[in-house]
Structure 1
Amino acid sequence: MEIHTYEKALEWIHGTLRLGIKPGLSRMQLMLEKLGHPEKAHSWIHVAGTNGKGSTLTFIRSMLEAEGYQVGTFTSPYIESFNERISVNGKPISNDEILLLVQHIKPIVEEIANSKFGPPSEFEIITAMMFLYFAKYHTAIDFGVIEVGLGGRLDSTNVLQPLISVITTVGLDHMEFLGNTLEQITAEKGGIIKQEIPIISGVLQPEAQTVLHDISQKKHAKIKQLGVDFQVKSRRQNTFTFIGETKRLPDLTVSLEGPHQVNNAAVAIATLLELKNSGQIHLSVEAIRSGLINAAWKGRMETLSKEPLIILDGAHNPEGIRAFKETVKQINEEKIILFSALQDKNYQEMIKELKTIPNSKLCLTTFDYPRAMTKEILTEVALNNQIEKVEDWQVFIKEQISSLDSTCLLITGSLYFIAEVRQLLTENILD
């Protein structure tokens, strides 16, 4: 079947979602071989981590842009449109380009599907599309900043040879794929570490740091660790001082809300300073300052309205919820928190954390997505945790906004949920 429209192209891509997550690199390597190895066309920065990947990538991209570079990015999931997963200087690729990529790659996917390797997964296809796009259709980028999809060692993006690797944080998430302990999960994230390629770590737990240092030693890869080789000092709200081995940068301000974003910004700075010190980029102090303050990342502690106060945050695991909690504790107003999680996530731990936020009322809902809670699970979980059940989140949000006075509305949980909420608010309520 030939594909002639953008809508049919997306339908074909998403039709592979039913294949699920298929860890391993063999299909990916074969696909790239048949495409002429597009992953070798550019210089890459590879970013892994449980949380903070997207924010750190955004800081890196924004600082490089401020220095005058063209930067391609690969992120997941998307918030407004599928196209934003592949972007140049923050601008998503066009519908026509998606169609071209699908027309190019579909015959190769079908050939592999009929081989001993079996059909590539949705994420493998999108990753190959990204490499192909930057190698053939938009070749003018100076750097690509690539976000790992899941884990690291067996992730589809781990076919590239980067200039530098970054691991932001490590937490207990995707345990069905990555392992049951922090050490096992860290080892999977550390699978992106390559022979003699430097690594920047924002990992905070000592046991996780030990795992990364052991992997780095075996790979003869120089590692720089947040809190050891570079520091965050004089932290107050969104302003901080960065102290590196050769650079002290006082009074830096980040645009993204939350204490954890200061750590993400420090990791991003350390990454680019490492590349600067090795002569691979130019980087001015002005570009660092401008890049940090102008970075924007939809759906992450994003204030969509100030009157009434409405904040969205894609906190989709316990570590993310703890960061969310630390941030919103600074809000003095009464808080209504609407939360939705995928049923394969540790939602019990997340609910436990959310219930400790002072001056707040917690409400639980679900949404239309294959991995979201069923209505039966929603009822049971709400009852067991003694929190309010919301069956129709769209009606709930509209009613809350019409009655908000001094109360603020905080919406958090799955990024897939946040994407739907953001679309409703921006297109139908707050426009």
Structure 2
Amino acid sequence: MIRTYEEAVTWIHERLRLGMKPGLARMEWMMEKLGHPERRVRAVHIGGTNGKGSTVAYLRSILQAAGYSVGTFTSPYVEQFNERISINGEPIRDEEIVELVQVIQPLADELERTELGGPTEFEVITAMMLYYFGKKRIQDIVLIEVGLGGRLDSTNVIYPLVSVITNVSYDHMNILGDTLAQIAAEKAGIIKSGVPLVTAVNEPEAREVIAKTAAERKAKTYWLGVDFAVSHQQTTAEGEQFSITTPFAEYRDLRIHMPGAHQIENAATAVMAAELLRLNYSFLIEPEHIHDGLAMAAWPGRFERVSDDPLVIIDGAHNEAGIRALVDTVRTHYSDKRVHVLFAALADKPLERMIRLLDELAETITFTTFDFPRAAAADALAALSSHPQKAVTDDWTGWIREKKKQIGDDELLLVTGSLYFLSEVRKLLKTDAN
């Protein structure tokens, strides 16, 4: 019997040995054994290639501003494992993790003895979350982020109030497919019969697949740029300012503190989802809740300014679309700075295209690696770069500390790549700051 938090987290992470096993059969088996807690969860289901976490942050902040208690399920974590299951932005307690593992572990052991095989790490965490929000701590609303894809993702056992697909671009192609149409078909798997869909998908190939699936399932779809739109965009010293028009209301002079045009899209998508909760499910969300919620929203590791002197920004841009958005944001907000990049990534990403974009931005670029099973070697990353000022380091901790001493007022240290890497970097920078 697991009795401590350390034992519980170790047991969960040991499930990584089972890898990824797409499919819902094991989740459905566990939900049946648990008395179907997923049926008691009032949820918004949020999928897409990029922007899921930020969209969760905006929507949670809006709902909290309106006085609701909001559960969230997100991945990966940035500071501690517990934050994957949170209430009003506060991670659940260590002892609650232990209690949840004590419920799920016997089921996992029993499932392992069946022809379905044992549940993966993500399936275990998803089952813990659904049991927690369905049986132990029922919330006004739970925002559930898709882990990978959608159709076969373990979160897809829920039947949400609203579905959201932020965007579709190239990522996890070894699992989801190597065309936008194939990837979009996996993302579209979260669309449920009669459940309204909000989406910022704009690639024609992906839009066609999303629209066809939504029509087949009679899911009323609200498209960014068609059914709801952003206007009067302008960059501010603190982030972005813009207005949003939906079929039901207009919100002027909204402000967010997460910079970038992509964050405006994420915020608009969250506002449209909030509108549907208000109109279809009687959530009492007023215009001031939209304004206040967006202004208060934050999401660690997403273009996060972790130091002002020297200027250090970390951003978990872990695929090509993410890097492109990052480069655009740096050029918009810090065009006067010389940029020094530190980059680490997982080996299964489209690394050559990602590095090419960073090469164009950087004054210097340094490649490193970190302790994670799928992390790419620093030398392998550097081999993909054509930058005249490229370098390699295996000691990224020492490199960051030294670089912070060297850069001047006209320079910016940008640490980017895998969110798993950013989690370690953020801990270092916060420790040093204290």
TM class by shorter chain equals over 0.9
CA gap 1:308/1:234 in 2 versus in 1, 3 angstroms: same
Separation of aligned partners in 2, 1:382 and 1:360: 13
CA gap 1:375/1:313 in 2 versus in 1, 3 angstroms: closer
Matches within 5 A, 1:372-383: 372-374=375-377, 377-378=380-381, 380-381=383-384
Per-residue Cα deviation, 1:352-397 (whole angstroms, up to 9, x for no partner): 111111x622211111111001355346445898722122111100
For the pair 1:27 / 2:30, whether they are aligned, the reply is no
CA gap 1:365/1:383 in 2 versus in 1, 3 angstroms: farther
Q: Which residue of 1 aligns with 2:48?
A: 49
Q: Which residue of 1 aligns with 2:176?
A: 178
Q: Of 289, 292, 299, which residue of structure 2 is paired with 1:290?
A: 292
Q: Of 360, 364, 384, which residue of structure 1 is paired with 2:367?
A: 364
Q: CA deviation at 1:209?
A: 1.2
Q: CA deviation at 1:144?
A: 0.4
Q: Of 146, 149, 154, which residue of structure 2 is paired with 1:148?
A: 146
CA gap 1:216/1:405 in 2 versus in 1, 3 angstroms: same
Which has the higher mean CA deviation after the structures are superposed, 385-394 or 58-67?
A: 385-394
Q: CA deviation at 1:255?
A: 1.8
Q: Alignment length, in residue pairs?
A: 427
Which residue identity does 2:30 align to in structure 1? M
Q: CA deviation at 1:405?
A: 1.7
Separation of aligned partners in 1, 2:388 and 2:15: 36
Separation of aligned partners in 2, 1:170 and 1:23: 19
Q: Which residue of 2 aligns with 1:76?
A: 75
Separation of aligned partners in 2, 1:384 and 1:108: 52
Which residue identity does 2:302 align to in structure 1? R
CA gap 1:378/1:242 in 2 versus in 1, 3 angstroms: closer
Separation of aligned partners in 2, 1:83 and 1:67: 25
Which secondary structure state, in structure 2, belongs to the residue aligned with residue 10 of structure 1?
Answer: helix
For the pair 1:210 / 2:208, whether they are aligned, the reply is yes
Separation of aligned partners in 2, 1:234 and 1:207: 28
Aligned partners of 1:382 and 1:389 also within 8 Å: no
Separation of aligned partners in 2, 1:283 and 1:260: 24
Q: Which residue of 2 aligns with 1:391?
A: 394
Which secondary structure state, in structure 2, belongs to the residue aligned with residue 355 of structure 1?
Answer: helix
Which has the higher mean CA deviation after the structures are superposed, 83-92 or 364-373?
A: 364-373
Aligned partners of 1:44 and 1:164 also within 8 Å: yes
Per-residue Cα deviation, 1:172-231 (whole angstroms, up to 9, x for no partner): 100111111001100100000000110001111122111111001100110010000000
Q: Of 140, 156, 159, which residue of structure 2 is paired with 1:158?
A: 156
Separation of aligned partners in 1, 2:256 and 2:168: 22
Q: CA deviation at 1:137?
A: 2.4
Which has the higher mean CA deviation after the structures are superposed, 410-419 or 331-340?
A: 331-340
Separation of aligned partners in 1, 2:162 and 2:199: 11
- Structure 1: which 5+ residue stretches go unaligned? none
Aligned partners of 2:318 and 2:345 also within 8 Å: yes
Separation of aligned partners in 2, 1:162 and 1:63: 18
Separation of aligned partners in 1, 2:257 and 2:36: 37
CA gap 1:84/1:227 in 2 versus in 1, 3 angstroms: same
Which residue identity does 1:167 align to in structure 2? I
Matches within 5 A, 1:91-130: 91-130=90-129
Separation of aligned partners in 1, 2:378 and 2:275: 49
Aligned partners of 2:64 and 2:293 also within 8 Å: yes
Q: Of 291, 309, 312, which residue of structure 2 is paired with 1:310?
A: 312
Which has the higher mean CA deviation after the structures are superposed, 278-287 or 305-314?
A: 278-287
Separation of aligned partners in 2, 1:88 and 1:308: 34
TM-score (normalised: structure 2): 0.96
Q: Which residue of 2 aligns with 1:411?
A: 415
- Structure 2: which 5+ residue stretches go unaligned? none
Identity level (%): 48
Which secondary structure state, in structure 1, belongs to the residue aligned with residue 360 of structure 2?
Answer: coil
Q: CA deviation at 1:245?
A: 1.3
Per-residue Cα deviation, 1:84-105 (whole angstroms, up to 9, x for no partner): 0000000000000000000111
Aligned partners of 1:314 and 1:413 also within 8 Å: yes
Per-residue Cα deviation, 1:61-91 (whole angstroms, up to 9, x for no partner): 0000000000000000000000000000000
Q: Which residue of 1 aligns with 2:254?
A: 252
Aligned partners of 1:309 and 1:408 also within 8 Å: yes
Aligned partners of 1:49 and 1:170 also within 8 Å: yes
Q: CA deviation at 1:292?
A: 0.1
Separation of aligned partners in 2, 1:275 and 1:15: 38
Q: Which residue of 1 aligns with 2:269?
A: 267
CA gap 1:417/1:249 in 2 versus in 1, 3 angstroms: same
State the Cα RMSD in Å.
1.3
Separation of aligned partners in 2, 1:199 and 1:209: 13
Q: CA deviation at 1:404?
A: 2.0
CA gap 1:138/1:183 in 2 versus in 1, 3 angstroms: same
Q: Of 260, 277, 280, which residue of structure 2 is paired with 1:278?
A: 280
Q: CA deviation at 1:51?
A: 0.1
Which residue identity does 2:392 align to in structure 1? K
Q: CA deviation at 1:40?
A: 1.0
Aligned partners of 2:367 and 2:379 also within 8 Å: no
Q: Which residue of 2 aligns with 1:333?
A: 337
CA gap 1:246/1:135 in 2 versus in 1, 3 angstroms: closer
Aligned partners of 2:229 and 2:244 also within 8 Å: yes
Separation of aligned partners in 2, 1:364 and 1:261: 27
Aligned partners of 1:79 and 1:418 also within 8 Å: yes
